[in-house]
Amino acid sequence: SLGRFWPLLTLPIGIWISWQLTSRFAPEAAGHGVPQIIAAIAVRGGNVRARLMFLKTVATGVTIGSGGSAGREGSIAQIGSSIGAWIGRVFRLREDDIRVLVAAGAGAGISATFNAPIAGMMFALEVILSSFAIRHVSAIVVTSVAASVTTHALVGEETFLRSPAYELHDPRQLVLYALLAVLAVLFGTLFLRVLDITSVARFSSRIPPWALPIAMGVTVGLIGLLYPETLGTGQELLTELLSLRGPADFVWWALFIIAALKGVTAAVTRKGGGSAGTFMPALVIGGAVGAGFAILIDPVWTFSRIDPGAFALVGRAAAL
């Protein structure tokens, strides 16, 4: 049985399929997805091709399903924006109205995948449109709420990430959270630097284009053999970290290594042609750093109880 070696087979195939789909039929479907939405609104009058709603779905599915280190949030936003643009063209709306529908579709996608209508609405207004104009709000609110209601009807009250309620046991712990902020900056900067380095890296022209996705897939798979937590979305690991109370079974340095390698596998997955986002990897990095820091400091912090899950919760927000 291949067992834990399966990613060495599935990852090269999945990333290669994603690369084939995006390079042949829709280059804008490669990578994260959110920058492409913003560019479509700012430069192309909201023109997002309808084929993206299908190609992005398949490309992201094979990327993450094969074990690629990435998130689905940027992808669902791009899929939603494609649907919004298509509806605008079908009804022959004005360019400004199509822009709003593109943003509304992206917000609806976020609302559906997170089961959070307010988050979807704010994402569409702040990130995609960079405008809180009243004329934009109504359409975006309606689509975000409708997406969330539909999600409730289809899958129930399931939430994207679950976290118990935590309390600040001692105000002096705020000093620890300040130190965690510094760590979040270091790991977040490392993630951005790795993304930049891999995005501009160029390989010899003698290497055939099809070999790059396979090589990148094997690379991610090899890292995954050592630390399987770096593969996929990382949602299960993050959910586990968010629920840690009191002493934990994790080792602090292992969580720091996972955080660093998660950034590497996410960047390499994108470099190979994987079609998925970096939102979830950033959350995993922050959660692992937060929990690892809490476990590291717990033996010497004698003033109050340390909940690693609370630090994971704050760490993921700080890293993002």
Contact criterion met (CB below 8 Å) for 313 and 284: no
Give the residue, 64 or 207, on which the prediction is more confident. 64
Q: Which two tokens stand for residue 33?
A: 């997805």
**Is the predicted pLDDT of residue 219 greater than 80, yes or no?**
yes
Which pLDDT band, with edges at 50, 70 and 90, does 131 fall under? Answer: confident
Which pLDDT band, with edges at 50, 70 and 90, does 128 fall under? Answer: confident
pTM reported for the whole predicted model: 0.90
- Give the 3-state secondary structure percentages of the chain, helix then strand then coil, rounded to 5: 70, 0, 25
Residue 166: name the closest of 300, 294, 297, 299 by CA. Answer: 294
Which pLDDT band, with edges at 50, 70 and 90, does 221 fall under? Answer: very high
**Is the predicted pLDDT of residue 1 greater than 60, yes or no?**
no
Q: Which two tokens stand for residue 263?
A: 């950034």
The alpha-helical segments, DSSP class H, found in 26-115 are 34-43, 52-65, 73-90, 95-114
Q: Which of 138-147, 162-171, 199-208 has the lowest mean pLDDT?
A: 199-208
* Cα–Cα separations (whole angstroms), residue 187 to 129, 180, 263, 296, 307: 29, 11, 9, 16, 21
Looking at residues 127-150, what average pLDDT do you find? 87
**pLDDT tens per residue across span 222-265:** 999 999 999 999 989 999 999 988 767 889 999 999 999 999 99
